[in-house]
Structure 1
């Protein structure tokens, strides 16, 4: 195999190695005590979500490999054929093209991004620190590699096992606590990347997507001292700080605005539709038909 083919295989294998490493890190950080019936429910839901998601992921990969092998890959050893396939295909881009293809798929994908960027990032950042969950950034990263449906059950699993935290000092509860700039700024910027997705070009779509995924990890990486979740009254208010309640309202308002705008006048899916292959399941076995678009 050539060097580029070796690199392609290593990148593909590294993807699954990273997933296994993240799962292992989460497993080691969880307490083995206080396991009850609720814990097993979340384990079962996480396993079911993982199986459901990756059944279709592997089905997509197998169909893509089968189509590419019959079309362009010469006969040879299995490793060589796999390396040729990985080198000459763009699984990530094609998967996103398939997910975003059609108005319904694009609308649903946008809703999932809005939930992940907004409510889920706030919940994970605040409750994870409040309950002293270790490595909260790992959960978000694993969700990007696997699926949010899988990781959400792992988060609930960790919250059930965590010791009950003390109540916040504020009489109004968690909602009145300050949301630091390290939390709300990345979230608002991430919402901006979702709003601009329909207007991205062939070159800017993927950088815009990667920027969104990077921004939502940042609030989970900053030191805990920047998140005064237990001492709301003792912490000086920042001139640019807002409360968690206000942040939730802003995020809910932005998501509602995006949704109403989409329903009133559906926005075009990203430019990836005009530049990448349409992936249409032909239902002939497991093959996909790749139809190249003419450039506008």
Structure 2
């Protein structure tokens, strides 16, 4: 094939877009790290118990390492895609393309001017059914995770939730997920109002002026969230080539923005906030059903298009037209192998597949280290599952009643101390006895007293996380991975995230 002549001047806008993309990922990562730092220093004294400190010291490095691994994998996949794209472009035009990183030469501007790398990546994923299978899993998992980001980010007042969302869109879903897991570990209870980075953020101040603030225990109706989800699923079903496009990104952004921009009449105020558990469960159940249907359709199309014919010709000298029949197991296993092996077709497909696998791995580990029941996961992942007998609602009611009783007791103790005058000590005859310094108790000598949480801190602790009885619950992890295999990443994420929202 004759080389293609380059007959136009290079454009620098694509170079600026790619450079801005890389700089934005680094800046967003720095913003998230700043928010994590502020969340750590804003922990209340009640969260400084030895058990909680040991739990954070053990789990935070694990999910931070998974986040770093996800970022390294995403960076390597992007570098492989860039190198392959440049080699194809250089071969078509007769340029030298030797070396591992040929894009360091002076032709990078011409290459980016001639090659729409973002559009090519979307087309590569959606051009075949076995590749589209991984792209849809990524989209469905991202949509379900955005709902968790919206609920827990607002309830715990985690700063810079928009940065997590942007990182999931621009870098990697598993990278943003693991960073958000670290944020959940560092904010077991809702942060105080106006504290940390959230109180100093300019974006939060601007949004507070444009949209009226809502009570902290206000949650939108499930109809609003499910309507956005059905819109995204309809886009994926009717226009498969838009997998990962701007339409689905806007759909996911709408889920994150609903609690901020929605009118007050679109939701309800729950007092105590545990009353919203049923709403969260219904929302995640609806999400799980929709994602399961999309997963079944995508898997069915992928297996149908990649299954070999039922008959094949056997090469024989005596009978050249001899045919043999393949068994159903042989056809199914071949189709499954092609779908799973499609991650080796192209670096873009490999990036999507690795992102899905890393997200599923972290999801199972998260279910194993949290205080959630397996029945809660099943109840949130499958609409037809019965609610657990000792489910989240009864547990939440018990915790709320205990918190209110403790708050009332603390208030009564303060009133009694304020009302009762000190009883005068009986006077003795003779000279008063000298009180030596060493006769005093150590607490009186030092002037220190035991820490007593205030009523506000006790009420906040009732909304916090519960420490699991076991360090790691591998039963919940195995259940999560099985749901991911059977129902897809979106269904498994709905089960775990739904259990996360009702497990406190």
Match of 1:147 among 172, 197, 206: 172
Q: 2:218 aligned with 1:197, yes or no?
A: no
Matched ranges for 1:21-100 at <5 A:
21-31=27-37, 32-33=40-41, 36-72=57-93, 80-100=106-126
Cα distance in 2, alignment partners of residues 225 and 211 from structure 1: 19
Match of 1:292 in 2: none
- Measure the CA separation in 1 of the matches of 2:262 and 2:271: 15
Distance apart, 1:156 and its partner CA: 0.2
TM-score normalised by structure 1 residue count: 0.71
> For 2:11, what is the secondary structure of its paired residue?
helix
* Per-residue deviation, 1:187: 2.6
Deviations 1:76-128, CA, capped at 9 Å, x for gaps: x96641000000002112222333343322112212212222x2121111111
**Aligned 8 A contact 2:10 2:110 in 1:** no
Q: Give the alignment partner of residue 281 of structure 2, picking from 245, 248, 258.
A: 245
Deviations 1:180-212 (CA, angstroms, capped at 9, x unpaired): 6654433332222112223x6xxxx48x82111
Distance in 2 separating the partners of 1:73 and 1:158:
50
Q: Find the aligned partners of 1:139 and 1:222 in 2 and give their Cα distance.
A: 16
Alignment correspondent of 1:232: 270
Find the aligned partners of 1:263 and 1:46 in 2 and give their Cα distance. Answer: 28
Q: CA deviation at 1:178?
A: 4.8
Q: Does residue 260 in structure 1 map to residue 296 in structure 2?
A: yes
Q: How many residues align?
A: 249
8 A contact 1:22–1:142 mirrored in 2: yes
- Bigger radius of gyration: 2
Aligned position for 1:103: 129
- Partner Cα distance (2:95, 2:183) in 1: 48
| Paired residue secondary structure (1:27) | helix
Name the residue aligned to 1:170: none
Structure 1 residue aligned with 2:23 = 17
The DSSP-based 3-state class of the residue aligned with 1:106 is: helix
Return the alpha-carbon distance in structure 2 between the equivalents of residues 158 and 23 of structure 1.
13
Aligned to 2:341: none
Partner of 1:238: none
> How far apart are residue 263 of structure 1 and its match?
4.1
**CA drift at 1:179:** 3.2
Q: Deviations over 1:107-158 (max 9, x none)?
A: 12212212222x2121111111111111212211111100101110000011
- Which gives a bigger RCO, structure 1 or 2 (Cα 8 Å, sep 6+)? 1
Tell me: CA distance 1:260–1:183, structure 2 relative to 1, closer, same or farther (3 Å): closer
Q: What is the root-mean-square deviation of aligned Cα atoms in Å?
A: 3.6
Alignment partner, residue 210 of structure 1: 246
Q: 1:87 to 1:280 in 2, by over 3 A?
A: farther
CA shift, 1:214, in A, is 1.3
Measured in 1, the distance between the counterparts of 2:32 and 2:268 equals 25
Query: Secondary structure in 2 aligned to 1:164?
Result: coil
Hey, what's the Cα distance between the residues in 1 that align with 2:15 and 2:254? 30
Q: Give 1:264 shift.
A: 4.3
Per-residue CA deviations over 1:207-259 (Å, capped at 9, x if unaligned) read: x8211111211232355485989941489xxxxxx932222122111122223
Structure 2: distance between partners of 1:9 and 1:82: 8
5+ residue gaps, structure 2: 1-7, 42-52, 97-102, 192-217, 306-343, 348-504
* Contact kept in structure 2, 1:180 and 1:226, CA below 8 Å: no
